[in-house]
């Protein structure tokens, strides 16, 4: 009787671990790993303070902070504001991202490499998704056209940190 209980207890612990260990094998990307430059990140959602419109300088600072993400959210640092870009570039669902990042401890760079994609292409895709938001700052008189590149470089730098961040 005791041996049977030990066996059942052991199996209850091991079977979920085996399924987690193999859970990534069923994840197949539908993407090419090429830069995606036709999506504008919504920039809102999750814990983002950004309201979706660049109508003052603090919004640009908010975009830079948003590119870095929220460290308390683990390796993915909060996907909501950039989720559509991640899904398009990686070619997987939000749930599949969580399997790779949470169950298998892959950061965004290693998630790219898992599919044979260049992490720098993800950084370029994420950065491109924020360019229309930065340009909104010129349309709304927050910055002049000469300042766009400086803000885009700041955002790109933070996305690079985010993609390679290991926790």
Where do the domains of the chain lie?
39-164
What integer is the mean pLDDT of 43-72? 84
pLDDT-based confidence at 40, cuts 50/70/90? very high
pLDDT-based confidence at 50, cuts 50/70/90? confident
pLDDT of residue 12: 47
State percent of the chain over pLDDT 70: 77
The CA-atom distances, in angstroms, between 47 and each of 64, 65, 82, 84, 159 are: 14, 11, 12, 16, 17
Q: What is the pTM of this model?
A: 0.83
pLDDT of residue 9: 47
Average pLDDT, the chain: 84
Residue 48 has pLDDT above 80, yes or no: no
What integer is the mean pLDDT of 56-72? 87
Q: Are 143 and 54 in contact (CB under 8 A)?
A: no
| 89-147 pLDDT, tens digit each | 999 998 999 899 888 899 999 999 999 999 999 999 999 999 999 999 999 999 999 99
Residues 101 and 79: their CA atoms lie apart, in Å, by 12
Provide the angle, in degrees to the nearest 10, between the axes of the packed helices 148-164 and 57-68: 20
pLDDT-based confidence at 167, cuts 50/70/90? confident
């Amino acid at each position: 009787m005791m041996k049977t209980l030990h066996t059942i207890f052991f199996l209850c612990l091991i079977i979920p671990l085996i399924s987690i260990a193999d859970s990534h094998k069923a994840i197949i990307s539908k993407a090419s790993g090429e830069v995606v430059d036709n999506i504008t990140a919504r920039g809102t959602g999750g814990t983002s303070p950004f309201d979706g419109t660049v109508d003052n300088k603090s919004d640009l600072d908010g975009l830079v902070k948003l590119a870095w993400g929220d460290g308390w959210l683990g390796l993915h640092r909060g996907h909501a504001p950039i989720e559509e870009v991640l899904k398009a570039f990686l070619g997987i669902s939000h749930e599949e991202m969580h399997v790779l990042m949470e169950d298998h401890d892959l950061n965004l760079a290693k998630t790219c490499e898992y599919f044979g994609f260049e992490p720098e292409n993800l950084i370029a895709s994420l950065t491109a998704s924020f360019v229309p938001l930065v340009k909104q700052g010129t349309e709304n008189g927050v910055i002049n056209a000469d300042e766009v590149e400086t803000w885009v470089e700041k955002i790109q730098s933070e996305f690079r940190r985010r993609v390679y961040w290991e926790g």
